[in-house]
Amino acid sequence: MLAHAAWVGRLTHDEGLQDAITRKGITHPGLGDADRAMLAYVEKLTLRPGTVEREDVEALRAAGFSDQAIGDVAINAALFAFMNRVVDGLGGRLDVDGMVENAQRYGYPLHPGTY
């Protein structure tokens, strides 16, 4: 989450948006309704995949996502989860300056030397 939010900050030059995404503050004015719907869906799919229902997909359609776009969102969320587990399972190391400190500042469970 930290690395992805950091890229949002770099691309948009909006540190407030970067901070909001890092804190899961999806009410930030820089996010539209479609962004909020997608982020809520991805959070649910990532943290509670067994609870995703047809209504969650319908909420994305109502926000303007096509079936292909919904599939892309689900596939990308699944691939990130998969790759994180592979890296963690192989003892991957985090080599990004400041990432551990940022994780601690936001209260994320990231430990020095790990991914």
pLDDT value of residue 114: 46
> Could you read off the pLDDT tens digit of each residue along the chain, which spans 115 residues?
666 677 677 777 888 888 877 777 778 888 889 999 999 999 899 889 999 999 999 999 999 999 999 999 999 999 988 988 888 788 876 666 676 677 777 676 655 544 4
pLDDT value of residue 108: 67
Identify which of 18, 3, 64, 12 has the alpha carbon closest to the alpha carbon of residue 38: 64
pLDDT value of residue 90: 86
pLDDT value of residue 115: 42
> Which of helix, strand or coil describes residue 70?
helix
pLDDT value of residue 21: 77
**Cβ neighbours, 10 Å, residue 48:** 9
The residues near 110 (Cβ < 8 Å, ≥ 6 apart) are 2, 94, 99, 100, 103, 104
Task: Write the single-letter amino acid at 75.
Answer: I
pLDDT value of residue 78: 93
